[in-house]
């Protein structure tokens, strides 16, 4: 396969059955968007996947949430965590498990992509909770987690093409980064439409690279700022230590100064103790490399 090949034509021939979403996690997300969603249905969905149920129980008994009585059932776990936190955990667990490959180049990129996506999720939640936008914390977490989902689809697609013998000689980092730059937004939009995820996440995936942003578009402002911060800290596929974060318009909208930025960066430095969706009073967040290892 040459660099000049029309990737769009190849990608459009691949099915959306490529694993980029866990069906239970996806159904949980759809369920929570209904105005009459029920805790009972949340519990039933979690119980459909034993591995996911195990992670939910583990999280409910982690240091971030533990109460006086250990949690032993999914029902009690959902009561302790809340349905929306369970949804965040489900999507995080499912995305974590998909970022692996037998191909060394693809696997390395997937691991960097996971580090970036998870760090963005945790960072977006922290920013929402600490800049007067706590009501958007759950949405910000999910938006941060999914904003680059098109890149995961592209890696899965290129891996499939490699197995088919179409891309055997060309799975090199530089080429794959070019493919990301050209196609990840388009493929992310396709995924959001295909899987019927809420409009807010389609908007984030489709528009987070736009030249400007509406200052009243709070979740987008948060995602763009945290995405830039992750680049400064080298969390992911790109690194730009010289990016002047406090000069970004998003920093001004969110009210960031040096002191707040220092506190924010601590989110990426604290040791992992599995605080997905933890309360605002929690001091840190799990490091992406260590989660679910």
In 3D, which of 58, 38, 56 has the Cα closest to residue 48? 56
- The separation between CA 28 and the C-alpha centre of its own chain, rounded to angstroms, equals 16
186 domain residue, yes or no: yes
Distance CA 21, CA 17 (A): 9
Q: Calculate the average pLDDT of the chain.
A: 85
* Beta-carbon-side half-sphere exposure of residue 132 (alpha carbons within 13 Å): 4
235 domain residue, yes or no: yes
Using CB atoms within 10 Å of the CB of residue 31, give its burial: 0 to 12 exposed, 13 to 18 middle, 19+ buried. Answer: middle
107 domain residue, yes or no: yes
pLDDT at 17 (0 to 100): 64
Q: Which residue, chain included where needed, has tokens 């021939």?
A: 13
94 domain residue, yes or no: no
CATH of the domain at 161: 1.10.3210.10
Query: Domain residues for 220?
Result: 7-17+100-266
Average pLDDT score over residue span 45-59? 91
pLDDT at 258 (0 to 100): 97
Q: Residues with Cβ < 8 Å from 121, sequence gap 6 or more?
A: 88, 92, 141, 142, 144, 145
35 domain residue, yes or no: no
pTM of the shown model: 0.85
Average pLDDT score over residue span 43-69? 85
pLDDT at 6 (0 to 100): 57
pLDDT at 10 (0 to 100): 65
190 domain residue, yes or no: yes
Contact 232, 241 (CB under 8 A): yes
Domain count, the chain: 1
284 — pLDDT class (breaks 50, 70, 90)? very low
pLDDT at 291 (0 to 100): 37
* 93-148 residue pLDDT tens: 999 989 999 888 889 999 999 999 999 999 999 999 999 999 999 999 999 999 99
* 155-167 residue pLDDT tens: 888 888 777 766 5
How is the chain classified by DSSP, letter by letter?
Answer: --TTS-HHHHHHTS-TTSSSS-HHHHHHHHHHTSTT--HHHHHHHHTT-HHHHHHHHHHHTSTTT--SS---SHHHHHHHH-HHHHHHHHHHHHHHHHS--SSHHHHHHHHHHHHHHHHHHHHHHHHHHHTT-GGGHHHHHHHHHHTTHHHHHHHHHHHHHHHTTSSTT---HHHHHHHHHHHHHHHHHHHHHHTT--HHHHHHHHHTTSS---TT-HHHHHHHHHHHHHHHTT-SS---TT--GGGSHHHHHHT--HHHHHHHHHTTTSPP---TT--TT------TTTTT-
Contact 123, 229 (CB under 8 A): yes
Contact 153, 187 (CB under 8 A): yes
In 3D, which of 108, 112, 140, 100 has the Cα closest to residue 285? 140
41 domain residue, yes or no: no
In 3D, which of 274, 201, 264 has the Cα closest to residue 228? 264
pLDDT of 271 over the 70 cut = no
In 3D, which of 113, 122, 199 has the Cα closest to residue 151? 113
75 domain residue, yes or no: no
Average pLDDT score over residue span 4-32? 75
Distance CA 267, CA 265 (A): 5
pLDDT at 106 (0 to 100): 87
């Amino acid at each position: 396969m040459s660099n000049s090949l029309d990737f769009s034509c190849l990608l459009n021939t691949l099915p959306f059955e490529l694993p980029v979403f866990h069906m239970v996690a996806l159904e949980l997300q759809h369920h929570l968007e209904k105005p009459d969603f029920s805790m009972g249905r949340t519990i039933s969905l979690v119980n459909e996947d034993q591995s996911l149920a195990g992670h939910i129980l583990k999280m409910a008994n982690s240091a971030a949430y533990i109460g006086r009585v250990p949690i032993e059932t999914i029902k009690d776990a959902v009561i302790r965590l809340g349905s929306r936190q369970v949804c965040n955990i489900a999507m995080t667990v499912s995305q974590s498990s998909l970022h692996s490959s037998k191909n060394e180049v693809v696997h390395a990129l997937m691991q960097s992509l996971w580090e970036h996506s998870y760090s963005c999720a945790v960072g977006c939640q922290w920013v929402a909770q600490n800049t007067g936008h706590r009501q958007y914390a759950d949405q910000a977490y999910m938006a941060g987690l999914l904003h680059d989902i098109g890149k995961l689809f592209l890696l899965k697609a290129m891996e499939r093409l490699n197995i088919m013998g179409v891309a055997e000689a060309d799975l090199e980092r530089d080429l794959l980064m070019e493919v990301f730059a050209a196609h990840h937004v388009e493929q992310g939009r396709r995924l959001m439409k295909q899987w019927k995820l809420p409009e807010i996440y389609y908007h984030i995936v489709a528009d987070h690279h736009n030249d400007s942003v509406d200052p009243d578009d709070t979740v987008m402002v948060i995602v763009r700022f945290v995405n830039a911060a992750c680049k400064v800290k080298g969390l992911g596929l790109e690194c730009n230590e010289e990016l002047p974060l406090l000069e970004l318009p998003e920093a001004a909208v969110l009210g960031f100064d040096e002191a707040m930025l220092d506190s924010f960066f601590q989110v990426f430095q604290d040791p992992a103790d599995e605080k997905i969706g933890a309360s605002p009073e929690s001091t840190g967040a799990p490091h992406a490399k260590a989660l679910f290892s």
